[in-house]
């Protein structure tokens, strides 16, 4: 009886312990339960993501294998196609040899059968047949060739123009200084902020002291200093339009073109400056105080451009020389642009002196005398990588632009 009571007591204790554990489980804080549920959900989501990633990777591997197989098959078919070369058309001699061989075989067979006659012999010697040739219309073929050539030249010209426009857009900072007289923001302002112009009063254009006048102008124009210049000081910029060699050729060949007298090649580059863009805006006759020559318009760019195109040629006693200066100084970006042509003083220059330089030894005018009202015919000279070209210059380089040297404004 006591054993039975002990067993019942132990069972009661065990039931109580299990109930107590269940109660403790149920008495867990809500936050703990939510955290456990969230962790379980995240674990499940992570497992699903891994499964999806493995599935995508498997699909990519299958797609790559299929693509590789397709490429291999395509390459194999291409190789087989290259091996299957079309039969080469037989020549007349080959066709004649084949016909003779067939005839010989046919006659041998007929002779063996005792049936050789003229009809069988004629049948055994078939004439080789060639496809009939259509009559050629020479005029139509020539017209077709001309049309194709014109189309090709039109496309080439369009591509050349577009390429030239794209190139010149990249050179806008240099063009801005030459055509508008304003240095770009990236330029070395210590060099380009104070060169001589008509607006700042450092220079003026008056009747030249150079006696010899060649050209269409009764009065020769020249460039004069209105302040003192020290040796090697920049006097002014050779203002004008920056153009390519191809454009220079077109302007040189244009009828009644004045650009040929002002085209000047920039040293160590494929570009030129057309000084006629500046000179064409200056009056042909005195229109300012004390007989000065001024721009024809109040808002003309010539007021602020460099005036070097108006400087005359004097080989005996030049007081200036032409040099080429980097737009951006010594920076790495300076290599992107052609150097800017400027006039420097090669001795001290006093107020009122005419600015003159030796075209022949200081610059590389392309067949033109550049600016100035007087001077003599130039002789071709190679200076610092540039060319001064004369009509007698026997140069085999088709890229060179040649013309007569005409001095005189």
Instruction: Give the pLDDT of residue 14.
Output: 61
Q: How far is CA 200 from the centre of its chain?
A: 37
Q: Give the number of other CB atoms < 10 A from CB of residue 312.
A: 28
Instruction: Give the pLDDT of residue 221.
Output: 92
> CB of 325 within 8 A of CB of 344?
no
pLDDT at 171 over 90: no
User: Which residues are bridge partners to 244 per DSSP?
Assistant: 271
Distance CA 400, CA 280 (A): 25
Instruction: Give the pLDDT of residue 190.
Output: 84
Instruction: Give the pLDDT of residue 342.
Output: 94
Q: Work out the percent of the chain whose per-residue pLDDT is above 90.
A: 25
Taking only the tens place, the pLDDT of each residue in 175-186 is 889 999 988 888
- DSSP H helix total and E strand total for the chain: 10, 12
Average pLDDT, the chain: 75
Mean pLDDT value of segment 139-160? 71
Give residue 168's pLDDT band: very low, low, confident or very high (50, 70, 90): confident
Q: Work out the percent of the chain whose per-residue pLDDT is above 70.
A: 64
List Cβ neighbours of 400 (8 Å cut-off, separation of 6 or more).
366, 387, 389, 393
Q: Count CA atoms within 13 Å of residue 59 on its CB side.
A: 6
Minimum mean pLDDT range among 77-81, 190-194, 271-275, 366-370: 366-370
List Cβ neighbours of 210 (8 Å cut-off, separation of 6 or more).
220, 222, 312, 313, 314, 354, 356, 372, 373, 374, 375
SS3 label, residue 341: strand
More confident residue, 261 or 131: 261
Taking only the tens place, the pLDDT of each residue in 215-236 is 554 458 999 999 999 999 999 9
For 71-130, give the DSSP string.
Answer: HHHHHHHHHHHHHSPPPPPPPHHHHHHHHHHHHHHHHHHHHHHT---HHHHHHHSPPPP-
Pairing of strands 386-388, 271-274: unpaired
Instruction: Sheet with 241-244: list strands edge to edge.
Output: 241-244, 271-274, 263-265
Taking only the tens place, the pLDDT of each residue in 58-107 is 888 888 888 888 888 888 887 777 776 666 666 767 777 777 777 677 66
Taking only the tens place, the pLDDT of each residue in 294-322 is 999 999 999 999 999 999 988 889 999 99
Sign of CA dihedral 10, 12, 16, 18: positive
pLDDT at 140 over 60: yes
Q: Give the number of other CB atoms < 10 A from CB of residue 7.
A: 10
Whole-structure pTM over 0.85, yes or no? no
Instruction: Give the pLDDT of residue 362.
Output: 45
């Amino acid at each position: 009886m006591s054993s039975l009571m002990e067993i019942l007591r132990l069972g009661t204790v065990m039931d109580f312990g299990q109930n107590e554990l269940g109660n403790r489980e149920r008495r867990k804080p809500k936050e703990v339960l939510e955290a456990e549920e969230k962790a379980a959900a995240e674990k499940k989501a992570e497992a699903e993501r891994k499964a999806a990633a493995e599935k995508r990777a498997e699909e990519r591997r299958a797609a790559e294998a299929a693509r590789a197989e397709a490429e291999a098959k395509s390459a194999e078919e291409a190789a087989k196609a290259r091996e299957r070369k079309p039969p080469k058309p037989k020549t007349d001699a080959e066709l004649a040899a084949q016909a003779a061989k067939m005839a010989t075989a046919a006659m041998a067979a007929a002779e063996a059968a005792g049936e050789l006659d003229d009809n069988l012999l004629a049948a055994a010697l078939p004439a080789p047949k060639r496809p009939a040739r259509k009559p050629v219309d020479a005029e139509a073929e020539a017209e077709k060739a001309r049309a194709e050539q014109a189309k090709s030249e039109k496309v080439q010209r369009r591509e050349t123009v577009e390429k030239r426009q794209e190139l010149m857009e990249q050179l806008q900072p240099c063009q801005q200084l030459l055509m508008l007289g304003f240095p770009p923001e990236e330029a070395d302002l210590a060099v380009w902020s104070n060169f001589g112009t008509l607006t700042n009063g450092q220079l003026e254009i008056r009747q030249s002291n150079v006696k010899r006048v060649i050209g269409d102008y009764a009065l020769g124009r020249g460039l004069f200093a209105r302040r003192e210049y020290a040796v090697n000081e920049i006097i002014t910029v050779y203002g004008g339009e920056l153009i390519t060699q191809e454009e220079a050729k077109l302007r040189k060949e244009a009828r009644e073109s004045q650009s040929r007298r002002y085209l000047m090649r920039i040293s160590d580059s494929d570009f030129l400056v057309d000084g006629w863009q500046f000179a064409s805006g200056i009056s042909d006759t005195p229109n300012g105080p004390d007989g000065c020559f001024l721009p024809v318009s109040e808002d003309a760019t010539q007021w602020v451009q460099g005036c070097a195109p108006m400087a005359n040629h004097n080989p005996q006693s030049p007081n200036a020389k032409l040099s080429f200066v980097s737009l951006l100084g010594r920076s790495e970006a300076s290599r992107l642009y052609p150097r800017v042509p400027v006039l420097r003083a090669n001795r001290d220059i006093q107020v009122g002196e005419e600015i003159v330089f030796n075209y022949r030894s200081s610059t590389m005018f392309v067949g033109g005398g550049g600016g100035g009202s007087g001077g003599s015919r130039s002789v071709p000279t190679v200076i610092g990588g540039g060319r001064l070209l004369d009509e007698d210059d026997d140069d085999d380089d088709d890229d060179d632009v040649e013309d007569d040297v005409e001095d005189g404004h």
